[in-house]
Amino acid sequence: KAGVTQTPRYLIKTRGQQVTLSCSPISGHRSVSWYQQTPGQGLQFLFEYFSETQRNKGNFPGRFSGRQFSNSRSEMNVSTLELGDSALYLCASSPGVGKETQYFGPGTRLLVL
Amino acid sequence: QKEVEQNSGPLSVPEGAIASLNCTYSDRGSQSFFWYRQYSGKSPELIMSIYSNGDKEDGRFTAQLNKASQYVSLLIRDSQPSDSATYLCAVYQGAQKLVFGQGTRLTINP
């Protein structure tokens, strides 16, 4: 089975712009979670989607949003980018929700100038 | 108190020795626990999951869980230089979200 894929892998944006990141889960997986990883804060949970519904949301401002499509692919959007949004954004998929193991994609490294 | 706590290290272990990584968590109701390994510049990869008290072994890796003490650990036997990485402990909080510790940076010295 192919693993989790994320596009793009690298992105450079300027403050105030917006960005959309994409994640394709492992075939058959219906849950997609997004995380932000920075050296100072570690891995922080952004949100989780299951069957096109946002199931849970982390403590991030409303500039961070996401959605999931009927084929389980997911996108996250960050509007009005700030310098502090520079991070590695990781997507993870699992078959279902709850105590399921999550498998990570390679990540999208975002640099905001 | 942080939800999931790990010693950030760095932890330095000679090659061939046992590396011991520890993690404590705050939610007494947590049921699922995971260890991930992350190489520099890469994404986390799953090493082991554990759900019941006691030990779970997989090759050179052993995960240990003690729910009464809210403690989970990972032992790496016969440590190899390729084990040098950051190890992340993750705990499901109330079956709602996976919470990660800050990670322990492990260095295996040849």
With beta carbons under 8 A apart, name residues in chain B contacting A45: 97-99
B16-49 burial by CB neighbour count: b if 16+ within 10 A, else e?
eeebebbbbbeeeebebbbbbbbeeeebbebbbb
Residue B95, pLDDT above cutoff 70: no
- Residues of chain A predicted below pLDDT 50: none
**Residue B99 is nearest to which of A45, A88, A104, comparing CB atoms?**
A45
Q: What is the pLDDT of residues A29-51, one digit of tens each?
A: 999 999 999 988 889 999 999 99
Residue B39, pLDDT above cutoff 70: yes
Nearest in space to B68 (alpha carbons), one of B30, B21, B22, B20: B30
Residue B64, pLDDT above cutoff 70: yes
* B97 interface with A at CB cutoff 8 Å: yes
User: Looking at residue A99, what is its pLDDT?
Assistant: 73
Contact state of A104 with B100 under an 8 Å Cβ cutoff:
no
**Starting from the edge strand earliest in sequence, which strands make up the sheet with B4-6, in order?**
B4-6, B19-25, B71-76, B61-66, B54-58
